[in-house]
Structure 1
Amino acid sequence: MALEQRRRAPSFTPPQALALGFALMIFTGTILLALPIAHEPGQQLTLVDALFMATSAVCVTGLAVVDVATTFSTFGEVVLMLLVQAGGLGIMSLSTMMFLVTGRRIGLQERLMMQEALGSFSIAGVVKTTRSIITTTLIVEAVGAALLTLRFLAYYPPGQALYFGVFHAITAFNNAGFDLTSQSLRIFNRDPFILLVVAGLILLGGIGFIVMQDVWRQRRWERFALQTKIVLVVTGGLLVAGTLLILALEYGNPATLGPLPFPDKFFNALFTSVTFRTAGFESISMGRMAYAALLVAIVLMYIGGSPGGTGGGIRTTTFAVIILAVRATVRGTEEIQVMGRRLPRELLDRAIAIAAMAMAIIVVVGGLLLVTESHVVSDPGNPVTIADVLFEGTSAFSTVGLTTGVTPHLSIPGRLLIALTMYIGRIGPLTAAVALAQRRRERAHIEYPEERVMIG
């Protein structure tokens, strides 16, 4: 009987188990955020809005249809913070933590799911790596919370400064972008200390735990793994390029960088370049930026963070592989070479697939938003434009959490669509990449003749 029940028990693949785990976290968060105790007196949150906020938290996005500071009680804010932490760590890291605390044995199925969550090439050492991820997360967040608390003491009473420090350290490191100020970090755009600490937390969360561990253990460039080198080079390049472009495009904009002295212009451009990639904080108003700067933002959001991190997008390594393949094609070489190494051709196939799927999803979501939000897009008295809608869809898919002001005005279908997009963005590219990596090649029964077609 026991054997028969075991056979009838549903069996999930690692990608399916991860998707289900995130869905269960979102469901639990929705119920908790919908409770009256989670709201300030006089405030109400519909079930759709609770679902949206829970999805945004678990998917570490940061988009909000309500003001967190004025809508949620302390209980609701803590629930939101814990959902962000759970979403950043991932369902398997939380499960591993429970296994370690209770002394339960971690079986093969759990190790396979850890491998899926980490994007690792084998199950060897996944338990140790997951344990290190948990420890690293808590240490980095604790240091960030301490630094922010010390600075917040200049603005708030000690208790509030500590609470704000912990909350913003967790949401920054997990690249979520929720805030308790009702103005994001715009009120601190002349405080480089806060901007740099938050930017540092965002970067550490976005580059990935594997890269952080490799840097910590090896500490010398020549000893770093190839992935670590690629992530650091691409991250640094995008950071510098983004900073310079934002500084140039927004330098004289009276609604953003214009009124600030040059040092503050630079720090805000740097912070904005960081937050465009993975997090939803803003020190200058997104809704008042020039269209050229918004285009830069869309590109940076599309690329996103790095594998194994808390950011979204197609990931820096995917972008790097495509760029390297283009370089190889231009040079007329068949091999994709980088830093004295040769990349297997199948990596390019997966990179193109991920980039194409991401682009397709963003275009489809943008098109659907033009339909669901047609009443505001077509309103001549409303400032919402097609660029704003495209920005919104990209931000949701890449789990960035920035908005030009569209999110609070979304219709119910629009809110459900963005919630679904955030969910797909959190699990879709990672799950698709690992599924393609683990797919076994099957020998074809029929081999078709080869024929070329014209390209370009």
Structure 2
Amino acid sequence: MNEKNIIKRLDPPQFLLLIFLTFIFIGTLLLKLPLATTDHITVLNAFFTATSAMTVTGLIVVDTGTAFTLFGQIIILLLIQLGGLGIMTFAVFIFLMAGRKIGFKEHVLITQSLNQNSIGGVIILAKKLLAFSLIVETIVFTLLSIRWVPILGWKGGLFASLFHSISAFNNAGFSTWSDSLSRFIGDPIINIIITFSFILGGIGFTVIFDIWRKKKFGKFSLHTKLMVIGTIITNIISIIFVLSLEFDNPNTIGNLSLGDKIQASYFQALTPRTAGFNTLEIASLNDPTLFFIILLMFIGAGSASTGGGIKLTTFLALMLSVSSFIKKESEISIFQRAITDSTVVRSLAITVIGVTFVFIGIFILDITEDASFIMIVFEAVSAFGTVGLSMGLTGDLTSVGKVIIITIMVIGKVGPLTLAFSIANHKKVNVRYAREEILTG
């Protein structure tokens, strides 16, 4: 069987996974070129970096600013852009530029890539997504340049602005500075610009376009309403938690002024939703704060966004189903809309598969790595949520540990359900069996 026939036999999830892994492989080869690095790096480290960039995670085994040349950093940026917006989004643009007709199979692939339920309108959505992303990144680049060019000069300021505008919008968490954005802990301009960028990238493109088109909250789709309200409530709770839990911690915000404490808490509370930047030393955070951040990283951002995790709406669907069960309600409803049983089952499947992969990863890492259990859990969940925050374990990972984190990053980016569909053997069953209850609880 030739390669063309094999590709034709692949399901859309399998084909997307193949494309994704192919670009990681190409990125690895490019990052291994002498032109890309200031010193020799191993194939595994190049592979790890390419995967981290393509999955827009931000975990690093070598320092981005010192280990890679300008060429290498540009390769990382291109991988971030490809991974963040989706390969198929760029494919749409290339097809249109080349005058190629986009057929049914391409429609299905784009639908899978953008995590949409319907094929209708996905080409228009993909074009809007690309245009919107470039516009936001340009605005963020301009604003950062105004702040950083006077400090870093034209060359340094413009490149830092370009790098961080793309990294922030795509929720990648990569920085050209080894301390991420810690030097700007009390800079309100940088705090607001960066968070504005990764919130827009993480809330989901369908939500942005729905808000733009309908304007009024009452006309929004149920998904948009849940994402908007859920994001606001989650962010407010997160800021309050980080501020209160770290208020007297001398290793984080304890010695800062009240204004800087609020700014640092605001920034660090929002980044676990897959952004990955930090202005505080993560390893210095109190254990309750770390545990709370782990929960935020696992939940992640919104569907059809640049972020990872199980997604906020998945988490909300499960919470609403639990609430309805406890209240003994006949259906799960919110905002005068009922959530379908299939949505709840899908949410449960995503969560269980995600927990399973993370649990397996933690188990193996606990065997291979010389680190505390909370560091291992934090690293694994950060990889799954494609967050990029670390307590300092990434650079000390063993070869086996790096492979495990690479695997978890890929799972977190493509989605646990998509990966399950990719490896499952689909069998059509036309038999319906009699139903019977089992004891639970």
Give 1:452 shift: 3.3
Q: Matched residue of 1:342: which SS?
A: strand
**Match in the other structure for 1:413:** 400
- Answer with 234-243 or 151-160: which moved more: 151-160
Aligned residue type for 1:34: K
**Match in the other structure for 2:36:** 38
Aligned match for 2:212, one of 209, 213, 216: 216
**Match in the other structure for 2:438:** 452
Q: Matched residue of 2:436: which SS?
A: coil
Q: Matched residue of 2:338: which SS?
A: strand
Kept in 2, the 8 Å contact 1:350–1:433? The answer is no
Kept in 2, the 8 Å contact 1:175–1:205? The answer is yes
Percent identity for Structure 1 against Structure 2? 37
- Answer with 232-241 or 5-14: which moved more: 5-14
Aligned match for 1:171, one of 146, 153, 167: 167
Kept in 1, the 8 Å contact 2:204–2:304? The answer is yes
**Match in the other structure for 2:146:** 150
- Answer with 59-68 or 146-155: which moved more: 146-155
**Match in the other structure for 1:382:** none
**Match in the other structure for 1:427:** 414
Aligned residue type for 1:387: I
Counterpart Cα distance in 2 of 1:292 and 1:139: 39
Kept in 1, the 8 Å contact 2:349–2:417? The answer is no
Q: TM-score, normalised by structure 1?
A: 0.93
Q: Assess, with a 3 A threshold, how the Cα gap between structure 1 residues 171 and 442 changes in structure 2: closer, same or farther.
A: same
Q: Where in structure 2 are the equivalents of 1:315-326 lying within 5 Å?
A: 315-326=311-322
Q: Matched residue of 1:413: which SS?
A: helix
Aligned residue type for 2:92: T
Counterpart Cα distance in 1 of 2:260 and 2:317: 35
Q: Matched residue of 1:276: which SS?
A: coil
Give 1:264 shift: 1.3
Kept in 2, the 8 Å contact 1:30–1:50? The answer is yes
Unaligned residue ranges in structure 1 (runs of 5+): 378-384
Give 1:442 shift: 4.6
Aligned match for 1:194, one of 190, 193, 200: 190
Kept in 1, the 8 Å contact 2:169–2:201? The answer is yes
**Match in the other structure for 2:303:** 307
Give 1:443 shift: 4.0
Kept in 2, the 8 Å contact 1:354–1:432? The answer is no
Q: Where in structure 2 are the equivalents of 1:45-444 lying within 5 Å?
A: 45-373=41-369, 376-377=370-371, 385-429=372-416, 431=418, 442-444=429-431
Aligned residue type for 1:454: T
Aligned residue type for 2:330: E
Q: Matched residue of 1:246: which SS?
A: helix
Counterpart Cα distance in 1 of 2:57 and 2:16: 18
Give 1:154 shift: 3.7
Kept in 1, the 8 Å contact 2:57–2:386? The answer is yes
Counterpart Cα distance in 1 of 2:380 and 2:4: 43
Equivalent pairs counted in the alignment come to 438
Kept in 2, the 8 Å contact 1:119–1:430? The answer is no
Aligned-pair RMSD on alpha carbons?
1.8
1:4-50, CA deviations, whole angstroms, 9 ceiling, x for partnerless residues?
Answer: 9976764211101110111011000000001110012xx11100000
1:297-318, CA deviations, whole angstroms, 9 ceiling, x for partnerless residues?
Answer: 0000010001000111110110
Q: Matched residue of 2:120: which SS?
A: coil
Kept in 2, the 8 Å contact 1:58–1:87? The answer is yes
Q: Matched residue of 2:333: which SS?
A: strand
**Match in the other structure for 2:16:** 18
Aligned residue type for 1:38: A
Aligned residue type for 1:59: T
Counterpart Cα distance in 1 of 2:351 and 2:122: 27
Aligned residue type for 2:42: T
Counterpart Cα distance in 1 of 2:118 and 2:24: 29
Kept in 2, the 8 Å contact 1:26–1:55? The answer is yes
Counterpart Cα distance in 2 of 1:35 and 1:125: 41
**Match in the other structure for 1:380:** none
Kept in 2, the 8 Å contact 1:354–1:433? The answer is no
Kept in 1, the 8 Å contact 2:59–2:394? The answer is yes
Q: Matched residue of 2:416: which SS?
A: helix
Q: Assess, with a 3 A threshold, how the Cα gap between structure 1 residues 8 and 289 changes in structure 2: closer, same or farther.
A: closer
Unaligned residue ranges in structure 2 (runs of 5+): none
